[in-house]
Copies of this chain bind each other. A is one copy, B any other.
Amino acid sequence: MPINLPIYFDNAATTRCDPRVVEAMLPYFTEKFGNPGSRNHKFGWDSEEAVDIARGQIADLIGSSPKEIVFTSGSTEANNLAIKGAAEMYAKKPEGETGRGHIISAIHEHKAVIDPVKRLEKRGFDVTMLTPGADGLITAAMVKDAMRDDTILCSIMWANNELGTINEVPQIGKVVRDAGAVMHTDATQWVGKMPTNVVEDNIDLLSLSGHKMYGPKGVGALYVRRRRPRIRLVAQIEGGGQERGYRSGTLNVPGIVGLGMACEICSKEMDSERERLLKMRQRLESTLADSIDVTQINGHADKRLPHVTNISFGFVEGEGLMMAVKNIACSSGSACTSASLEPSYVLKALGVGDDLAHSSLRLSLGRFNTEEEVDFAIGNIQEAVRKLRELSPLFDMHNEGIDISTIEWATH
C-alpha cells in the first residue's frame, strides 16, 4: 500500500471523520433538514427521530440510558456545563459569598476543565488541584486524601490528552460518590476507544466529543446521571429549553447523527482496533527507544491508552523536531496549547525537566493508520533526531561530558 504523506499521527488532537459517519449525516443537510423542535410536521418528526436514534447509539457506548445524554457543541462545552452547572446547583452558599463548597481536580487536566474550575474559585468555591505522580496518574488514594466535608464535586479526566495516561476513575468515582459528592470525568480521549460503563464505573457526569472518535467536529455530549442519585445542573446556555432545559439551542441534527454513528462504529470495532493500535505503538516506542539514546517515554508504562505515546528526545527541541519530521503530522505539547511557547504544563506536572519537556513529541495513532506508516515514521524520526543533534549545542556539551543542568544560562 503506498503511503500518503504527510502521515497523520495526531489523532489525539482530532480525527479524520469516518466516511461511514459522513454518509450517515448527508441526508440531514438537504433532505431531512427539519428542526427537531418543529412538533407539527414531517420534517420535524424525521429530525427528532434521527436525534433519538443517535441518543441511543451514544448511550449504548457508555452504558447509560438515552435520556441521560445532553447534546453539546463538544467536550469543552460539556466540561463547562458539568463543572459550572453542578457547582452552581450544589453550592453551599449563595453568590457573592465565600466557602461555597470544595472542588477537587488536577493540575494536568485539559484547560477546558482547569479554566472553569479556576472561574469557580474566583466565585467563592474552594479548589484543590492535585499533582499527579511522576507516572502522570491520579489515584483514588490521592482523591481520598483531598476530600473534605464540604467537597461537592470532583473532576478528574479519564485519559490524559498529552500522555494517554489513565487515571483511576472508577475507583475515584467510588470515593467521591460514597461521600455524597458529584463525580465528573472528562472522557474526551477515552470514550470510543476504551470500554465504558457509567454505572459500573461510578460516574455522575461524563464529557465526550465527536471529533476525537472519528465523528464530526462541533458536537459532543454530556452524560448526566438521572438515578441514584439524579444529578441536576444549572444550565449554562439558556433559552428554548431543549435537552430537558440543560442545553438550549436548535439541535445540530447532522452533527448528532454523525456522533451517533461514530459511537456505533466505535462500539463495534473498539476491541480489535485497540489491539491493533497497541501493537503499532509498542513497535514505534521500542524501536525508537532502542535506536536513539537519551530518550524517555513520558507517563506510566502500561496505564496508558493503546494509541498514544509521548516521547522526549534529549537535546532536540520539539517544535524544531516536528519541522524535521515534516512528513509526520504530530504535536509537541497538545494541539490546544501549542500556540504558546511555554513547555507543556502537563509534562511539567509530572516533574519532567524543562529541557526534556521541550523535547517531546506526542504521536497518537488512529483508525486510519497502517503499519507501513509506523515504519516510515520510525525512519523519519531517527533521521530527524540525528540531524538536529548535529545542530544542537546541548548535544555537543553532553558529548563533552558537561552536565547541562549545572550550567548557568544567560536567560534572555
Which residues from B are CB-within-8-Å of A115? 238-240, 248
> Nearest residue in B to A76 (C-beta to C-beta)?
B249
Which residues of chain B are within 8 angstroms of A250 by Cβ–Cβ distance?
Answer: 14, 74, 76, 209, 211, 217-218, 336
A180 interface residue (CB < 8 Å to B) = no
A30 CB–B CB distance under 8 Å: yes
Q: Is there contact, CB below 8 Å, between B249 and A38? A: no
Would you call A10 and B43 a contact (CB within 8 A)?
A: yes
Instruction: Say yes or no: is A319 at the interface (Cβ < 8 Å to chain B).
Output: yes
CB distance from A12 to the nearest CB of B (A): 10
Complex CA–CA separation, A15 to B338 (angstroms): 38
What would 15 more interface pairs be, CB under 8 Å, given A21-B29, A76-B239? A13-B38, A14-B250, A15-B33, A22-B29, A38-B329, A40-B332, A40-B338, A80-B236, A95-B123, A110-B240, A115-B240, A209-B250, A217-B253, A218-B219, A218-B254
B339 touches A39 (CB 8 A): yes
Complex CA gap A77/B218 in Å reads: 13
Q: When chains A and B are docked, how far (Å) is the Cα of A241 from the Cα of B331?
A: 18
Residues of B within 8 A of A338 (CB): 37-40
**Segment 27-78 of A: residues with Cβ below 8 Å from B:** 29-30, 33-35, 37-44, 72-77
Instruction: Tell me, yes or no, whether A335 is within 8 Å of chain B by CB.
Output: yes
Q: Is the CB of B323 within 8 A of A40?
A: yes
Residues of A within 8 A of B (CB): 6, 8, 10, 13-19, 21-22, 26, 29-30, 33-35, 37-44, 72-77, 79-80, 94-97, 110-116, 119, 123, 209, 211, 216-219, 236-241, 248-255, 319, 322-323, 326, 328-332, 335-339
* Cβ 8 A contact of A249, one of B74, B113, B238: B74
Q: Which B residues touch A255, using CB under 8 A? A: 217-218, 252, 255
Name the B residues within 8 Å of A319 (CB-CB): 40
- By a CB distance below 8 angstroms, the chain B residues around A75 are 249
